[in-house]
A and B are shown apart, each in its own frame.
Chain A
């Protein structure tokens, strides 16, 4: 995938398939330690340790319609090609955290991409799920929590176009601020 935001879009589908109601996504640009860390943490059904070992195998999938599943396989290959890796922490009944590490300055490291559109799309397409998005750079920190938005909008639905547009703007401006206005 061309950028990190597309990996987020893809990996969040695993959390949704695991019946998560809260999905926490974070991107940490730890420039000082030459690391970019993407984390996706959910409160879905979780996996036992046997399953965790198999999920980055491209020939493992929970789908019954086909025998190939490439989501985690692709992100692992991309991370490893950039001097990083994928680390999965999961507990049945509790949830799963997928942590993806890239070397920040690796020449093949994908750009972060359009995070604002990605998070807005996730909220708009999954109004019954709550999302927390955190983005940290050496300059500062952005935090978005759909539960706080729900409290503030009262009777308005969270997937209302104006709310979704506000979310997108909030994230775009927040990221601009912590990346010194230059984008990521």
Chain B
């Protein structure tokens, strides 16, 4: 599935990385402890977190996440969004909770782990 299809299906708001939405999503993860995400994260992952610190952009860039989804309509600072744009990190936002987002993504067929490792 492409990020753009996910944005469309869940009515997500694109906060940063508009020009990268054709990127492929192959797995999903939901966690707010960044060190754990660094260990578990993988390329092509859609990551749901309530954290909006600059560090989330660094983690997503490091493991080449497909996108970050911020739940509950939490606002993200401009400088974080600018950095995300600069690093090619897609940041999306939703009014749903992390629980609801994860449930919907799972129903749409997003797996906990990528099936094909490249």
| Count of chain A to chain B residue pairs whose CB atoms are closer than 8 Å in the complex | 38
Q: Which A residues touch B54, using CB under 8 A?
A: 57-59, 73
Given contacts A59-B83, A66-B62, A68-B62, contact A73 B33 (CB under 8 A): no
Most buried by A among B33, B36, B38, B53: B53
Report yes or no: B34 in contact with A68, Cβ–Cβ below 8 A.
Answer: no
Choice from B35, B55, B58, B62 contacting A1 with Cβ under 8 Å = B35
Tell me the dominant secondary structure on chain B's binding face: helix
Closest Cβ of chain B: how far from A10's Cβ, in Å?
8
Size category, B interface: 10 to 19
Q: Which A residues touch B34, using CB under 8 A?
A: 70, 74, 77
- Total count of chain A residues near the partner, CB < 8 A: 13
The residue in chain B whose Cβ has the minimal distance to the Cβ of A61 is B58
Report yes or no: A58 in contact with B35, Cβ–Cβ below 8 A.
Answer: no
Report yes or no: A70 in contact with B33, Cβ–Cβ below 8 A.
Answer: no
Interface: B57 (CB within 8 A): yes
Taken together as a complex, chains A and B put the C-alpha atoms of A73 and B33 apart, in Å, by: 13
The residue in chain B whose Cβ has the minimal distance to the Cβ of A57 is B54
Interface string of A73-114 (1 = CB under 8 A from B): 110010000000000000000000000000000000000000
Residue ranges of B at the interface with A (Cβ–Cβ < 8 Å): 33-36, 38, 51, 53-55, 57-59, 61-62, 83
